[in-house]
Amino acid sequence: MKTIAVAEGDGIGHEVITVARQVLELLHPEYEFFSVEMGYGMWEKTGCPCKDHEIAALKSADAALFGAVTTPPMKDYQSVVLRIRKALDLYANLRPVKGSGFDIMIVRENTEGLYSGIEEIGTDRATTLRVVTRKGTERIAKAAIRLTKARRLLTIGHKANVIKSDVFFRDICIAEAKAAGVPFNEKYIDALALDILQHPQAYDVVVTTNIFGDILSDVASFLVGGLGLMPSANIGDRYALFEPVHGSAPDIAGKNIANPIAAIRSAAMLLTYCGDTTGAMMIEKAIQQTLLDGIKTADLGGTAGTREFGEAVAKEIGRRTKR
């Protein structure tokens, strides 16, 4: 039996994760689910958005399903997402982008880079230290290479023509790719952001640094209909957490209009991690059939609410499990 930690977070996290959890419960009623509270709402109540107890709870689970958190622009507010990634050492962020004629996996280094958390704000200057280590680069390169071995091509995204730490990152990635014998190429990240939109079929596995991977995957979401459809996995050697790419969207929270597809697809990635690839494939087929049936949320031009879309997907899964 698997134990799954569920952290809805803030804003629309409460709505979309509820739907995703229901899908998981439908496929695996034997799983044990437990809730973990964290985020801005937690900070408002306790003065801390994520305590040691919550981190321990995430570590106790076989996997975690995470929603979205609001991070206010306050210099003393601790980023919940960054703390979780570092505490659980979730060094590989995987963001699949799949559509007609293309299947891209963006592999983003997840624990250092410009999101190192080493920052200083003064009266006349603010600084953030961009950290790129050999250990961090080698392990994210190896994670991308493992995926590439089952696919076709590795692309290394960087800005080595300007940033010295990217020269360091690029050279290590190239050395690892050569040692593993996988086909690879490299591309400046700004050119890559444009070309991936113009020629998505040319890309397969893309590995890059933390902030570049964050931006690139958001850009690539245009190919599939926006952030509301983009799932992600945060993987380490011992722990794993799955979350939609989108934010907490407080402006639409509680209105039953958020698109839950990214959260449902994140649940499917969780199932793959837990060894149920059949269930993961069934979820994706149910999503596609629901869309083909004309049931869509407002961002996709439809009229279905968050709950209604989730119910339609669950109904389709129910039909498929009875076949």
Domain positions in the chain: 1-90+236-323, 97-229
- CATH class belonging to 1-90+236-323: alpha beta
Enter the pTM of the model: 0.94
**Is the pLDDT at 300 greater than 80, yes or no?**
yes
pLDDT band at residue 124 using 50, 70 and 90 as cut-offs: very high
CATH topology match: 1-90+236-323 vs 97-229: yes
Q: Which of 98, 218, 299, 315 is catalytic?
A: 218
Q: Name residue 95's amino acid.
A: R
Q: Name residue 100's amino acid.
A: S
**Is the pLDDT at 74 greater than 80, yes or no?**
no
Q: Which of 62, 103, 190, 204 is catalytic?
A: 190
204: annotated active-site residue = no
Q: Which of 86, 159, 187, 296 is catalytic?
A: 159
115: annotated active-site residue = yes
Cβ-based neighbours of 23, under 8 Å, separated by 6 or more: 264, 267, 283, 310, 313, 314, 317
pLDDT digit string (tens) for 9-44? Answer: 999 999 999 999 999 999 999 999 999 999 999 999
Tell which CATH classification among 3.40.718.10, 3.40.1390.10, 3.65.10.10, 3.40.50.720 matches the domain 97-229: 3.40.718.10
218: annotated active-site residue = yes
190: annotated active-site residue = yes
Q: Which residue has the tokens 């559509």?
A: 99
